[in-house]
Structure 1
Amino acid sequence: MKRLMERASKALAFGLLLTGLNAFAAAPEAVPGEFIVKFKDDAVATSSLNTLSQELGSYIKDTIPGQNIVVIKRPVFEIQSNVVKSLAQNPNIDIIEPNYIYRINKTPNDPMLGQLWGMINNGQPDSQKREGIAGVDIGAAQAWDITTGSKDVIVAVIDTGINYNHPDLKGNLWTNDAELNGQAGVDDDGNGIIDDIYGANFVTAAKPTGNPLDDHGHGSHCSGTIGASGDDGKGIVGVAWNVRIMGVKFLSASGSGSLDGALKAIDYATSKGARILSNSWGGGGSRGNESSEQQLQ
């Protein structure tokens, strides 16, 4: 009897645990306020829309007469389960459910995707032949089912520049349209930099140029990770398949640059509309402690 009570107690606890987990589970995606209603008889074909609307107490957005189905719209603030439960009591309704959203799984066809363990980790070895751990990745496959990026987003890669001739980057480059459509050798947008079509070069901060071509490789590597074109059947794929990448160079071929170059690069990027900045570099010093000591003295 004691064992039976223990088992019952454990079963109850497990059931409560599942109930709690289910309460926090994400509901399937559906069009807000919309429901699919299938009638038991041929009501859709024989009744007027006004009659059906009154019967359902809902606005009828669309009909599928051949399937005896209507699509209804309710106020979006109504609780989905309550709407289903209420309308299910109608004896003329056969099926009612939310207007669920279905999506195709978005897995790109880029042939080198399997090498990018940070995107999708199936346990494949890394570049140093070390065995990987399946599942240790950024969840890119799940994210791509939601979005693959937007051309409305501008990302400035403030680095060693960008290879704007690379086939996996060319389709996702930001362009300065005033310079692109202007005259060669002329500062068409009046910002003091000539022909800054894909970005600018601040390696020599006092005399910036309009050519951010990468002569090191690091900036192009970062750009590819962020936004190499996806699902194009070649090369790799970035986290965002669709994006606009601005090349802003202040690090030289040796991989170093000055603070004023960095500051001018950041100022340029923000002035041109970039709100996301990739700054994959570090160094410099900190005078915080010294300043505090001077203040205390």
Structure 2
Amino acid sequence: MRKLSNQRRMTVALVMAVAAGAGISAPASADPGNPVELVVGLHPGVSADDALAGADVRVVDAGAVTEAGAVVVDVAARRAESATELLRRNPDVAFVEENHVASKADVTPNDPFWNEQWGLRKVNVPAAWSMTTGAGVTVAVLDTGVNEVSDLTGRVLPGYDFINDDADPVDDEGHGTAVASVIAGRGDDASGMAGVCWDCKILPVKVLDEEGSGDYLAIAKGIRYAADHGAKLINMSLAGSSSSPLLNSAVQYATDRGALVIAAAGNENTATRQYPAAIPQVLSVGGSTSSDGRYEWSNYGTSWVDIAAPGCNVAQDYRGRGYGDFCGTSSATPLVAGVAALMLSRKPDASGPFIGTVLSLSSSKLGWTTHGRVNAGRAVWAVTDTAAPTVALSAPKAGTLLHGTVTVSAGATDNVGLNRVELVVNGTVAAVDRTAPYSFRWNSGAYHGVVKVAVRAVDWTGRVQTATRSYEADNRGPALSVTAPRSGSTVRKAFTVKVTASDKRGVSKVEWLVGGKVAGTGTSFKVTPAKYGKTFTVRVRAYDKLGNVSYSPTYTYKR
């Protein structure tokens, strides 16, 4: 029977550390009783007067135009929404946003091992803690069982043991307890370490034995059990090399009930798919370093490893004897699950798949995963976003004739943040820009006639807004009709070749090429065979007034 092994490296060390923290800013809301300050971004060359015409706002800081490409205005709170919408519809305006105030708002726990927990600081968990610590959320841990060690006191719910088929999922190997402590270890209690979601509950589901192995049937049962017991988040720090309809079916069962399955990509330093991580509905996790590189042992692949997280984290020993480094994709996975739990506590009605989408889109970009490295502060902030982004196509102007390489510019904003802006041509994504101001240098040369050009803004929740214009593209030379002796003919006397050239923009030049060199111009050309070799070629080249060029077929003659 196929076995599925846990994926980890763990060492236990009884070394205490001094707690310390790092500062991350978080947005603060404006007082609705006071005038609202708006920052109005301007496209290059646009004056503040033109951009603000008709908006009935008062300029507060005109100097920001040269310093930040924007002008600061204020407006009565009751009119802020309507003024914002009016300004966003102005094609001269690149963006409009409230002049947010930032302040130090992250939480620094007093746990002795906090100084060692670089991974949580790397992914901005302290910023997320300023919004929630995860009350009301349960994470199912499918592993070797979970023991209620000191940092998990009051966190572990009754669960089930599918190895021994009883209701006592004790951890006799240690891996599951380490995983659970990364997710839900008590934080800010002046003891031990801080879990990502220190107010979460753990549903222990034992599917791996004392050697860290379990068959696919036990794991499939565990997935279904977790979904049936209301867990919207299922952590599986385990991996196997074989795909399986049994696992596929169990994951689909959980997904259909609103759960998100999160699984380790494995530790073989390979792009070879591992399961259940590579199942499409599963959020697959790789292990990243403190510099956002890839740990040499982490599996990778932009087609199946969805997201990364720090791969070495402090965890508690399953016998409660101490704390140590817990390294591997088994450690990265519960960090992601803990962030997902914080998000779910902010939006309890969200489905697991929606949480997975926001986690992915709000990540910080990396090259060896599909989406990037988890960003907890951004993800927890973004999950409550209910507004679609706004987007306007500012250039080229309507009626512009497209020819050659053109600049397509867009103004796009979102009340929480944008994942990306896409350039879409005739329904196909041609380019992506992730940094404002959004602009694309696009070669229109492959298009002629009517072209639909769109800019599509996508926010961190996956909401989309599109602005589209139809343009005419002209990237073809004149149409040519040539009257000449049949190619391949033998000619001895002089003969005349004629051409009719037509173009909507007008024809600027017609050239006659003999043997590849210009031999004459105009709409007719007299060919004297004696001037050329025993075999020679004749061809017409024509230019329109935009510089587009076209060629006739090549005529070959003998004499």
Q: TM-score, normalised by structure 2?
A: 0.28
Aligned to 1:36: 34
- Shift in Å at residue 74 of structure 1? 3.5
* Residues 1:201 and 2:155 aligned together: no
Unaligned runs of 5+ in 2: 1-24, 36-75, 87-97, 246-559
CA gap 1:254/1:287 in 2 versus in 1, 3 angstroms? closer
Report the Cα distance in structure 1 between the residues aligned to 2:141 and 2:26, rounded to whole angstroms. Answer: 37
Q: Secondary structure at the match of 1:168?
A: helix
Q: Name the SS of the counterpart of 2:137 in structure 1.
A: strand
Find the aligned partners of 2:182 and 2:196 in 1 and give their Cα distance.
Answer: 6
The one of 225, 239, 248 aligned to 1:268 = 225
CA distance in 1, matches of 2:106, 2:128: 10
CA contact (8 A) 1:80 1:98 kept: no
Task: Write out aligned runs for 1:238-257 (5 A).
Answer: 238-257=195-214
- The alpha carbon displacement at 1:211 in A equals 0.6
CA 242–287 in structure 1, closer or farther in 2 if over 3 Å, else same = closer
Structure 1 position 227, deviation (Å)? 1.1
Alignment deviations for residues 36-72 of structure 1 (CA, whole Å, 9 cap, x no partner) = 37xxxxxxxxxxxxxxxxxxxxxxxxxxxxxxxxxx9
The residue that corresponds to 2:155 in the other structure is: 172
Q: Is the 8 A contact 2:106 2:128 kept in 1?
A: no
Letter in 2 for 1:35: G
Largest Rg, 1 or 2: 2
Question: When the two structures are aligned, how many residues end up with a matched partner?
Answer: 171
Q: What letter is aligned with 2:129?
A: W
Residue 143 of structure 1, CA deviation: 2.4
Partner-residue secondary structure (3-state), 2:154? helix
Map of 1:145 onto structure 2: 130
Residue in structure 2 matching 1:154, options 110, 129, 138: 138
Q: What's the offset of the Cα at 1:285?
A: 1.7
Q: Which amino acid aligns with 2:111?
A: D
Q: In 2, Cα distance between the equivalents of 1:212 and 1:27? A: 40
Q: Distance in 1 between matches of 2:26 and 2:106?
A: 18
**Bigger fraction of residues in strand:** 2
Measured in 2, the distance between the counterparts of 1:101 and 1:80 equals: 21
In proportion to residue count, which structure has more helix? 1
Indicate whether 1:279 and 2:236 are aligned: yes
- Partner Cα distance (1:266, 1:287) in 2: 14
* 1:107 partner letter: T
Residue 244 of structure 1: how far off its partner (Å): 1.2
Matches of residues 42-121 of structure 1 in structure 2 within 5 Å?
74=78, 77-78=81-82, 104-120=105-121
State whether residues 103 and 145 of structure 1, in contact with CA within 8 Å, keep that contact through their aligned partners in structure 2.
Answer: no
Q: Percent identity?
A: 34
Deviation at 1:147, TM superposition (A): 2.5
In the alignment, residue 161 of structure 1 is paired with which amino acid?
Answer: G
Q: Give the 3 Å change call, closer, same or farther, for CA 229–167 of structure 1 in structure 2.
A: same
Tell me if structure 2 keeps the 8 A contact 1:171–1:229.
Answer: no
Contact 1:151 1:242 in 2 (8 A): yes
Find the aligned partners of 1:111 and 1:278 in 2 and give their Cα distance. Answer: 26
Greater RCO, 1 or 2 (C-alpha within 8 Å, sep 6+): 1
Structure 1 residues 80 and 34: CA distance shift in structure 2, 3 A: farther
Query: What is the CA–CA distance in structure 2 between the aligned matches of 1:161 and 1:27, rounded to whole Å?
Result: 37
Q: Is the 8 A contact 1:119 1:139 kept in 2?
A: yes
- Say whether the 8 Å CA contact 2:28–2:102 is kept in structure 1: yes
Residues 113 and 28 (structure 1), Cα distance of their counterparts in 2 relative to 1, 3 Å cut: closer
Contact 1:30 1:101 in 2 (8 A): no
In structure 2, what is the Cα distance between the partners aligned to 1:79 and 1:212? 59
User: CA 1:27–1:109 in structure 2 vs 1: closer, same or farther (change >3 Å)?
Assistant: closer
Match of 1:15 in 2: none
Return the offset for 1:105. Answer: 3.5
Question: What one-letter code is carried by the residue in structure 2 that aligns with 1:109?
Answer: N
Structure 2 CA distance for aligned equivalents of residues 212 and 287 of structure 1: 25
- What is the rounded CA distance, in whole Å, between the counterparts of 1:242 and 1:76 in structure 2? 38
3-state SS of 1:152 partner: coil
TM-score (ref. length: structure 1): 0.50
Q: What secondary structure is seen at the aligned counterpart in 2 of 1:264?
A: helix
Kept in 1: contact 2:28–2:101 (CA 8 A): yes
Q: Secondary structure of the equivalent of 2:32?
A: strand
Contact between 1:223 and 1:245, CA under 8 Å: does it hold in 2?
A: yes
Quickly say closer, same or farther: Cα 1:242–1:101, change in 2 above 3 A. Answer: farther
Matched with 1:215 is: 172
Q: CA, structure 1 residues 248+287, in 2 after alignment: closer, same or farther (shift >3 Å)?
A: closer
The whole-number CA distance in structure 2 between the counterparts of 1:216 and 1:27 is 40
Conserved in 2, the CA contact under 8 Å of 1:34 and 1:98? no
Asked if the contact 1:161/1:219 (under 8 Å) is kept, the reply is yes
CA RMSD of the aligned region, Å? Answer: 3.3
Q: 1:234 aligns with which of 191, 196, 205?
A: 191
When residues 279 and 76 of structure 1 are mapped into structure 2, their CA distance, relative to the original with a 3 A threshold, is farther
Shift of 1:277: 0.7
Task: Note the C-alpha offset of 1:141.
Answer: 2.3
SS of equivalent residue, structure 1 residue 112: helix
Distance in structure 2 (CA, Å) of the matches to 1:224 and 1:251: 18
Q: Could you tell me which runs of 5 or more consecutive residues in structure 1 were left unpaired when the two chains were aligned.
A: 1-25, 38-71, 83-96, 121-136, 176-197, 289-297
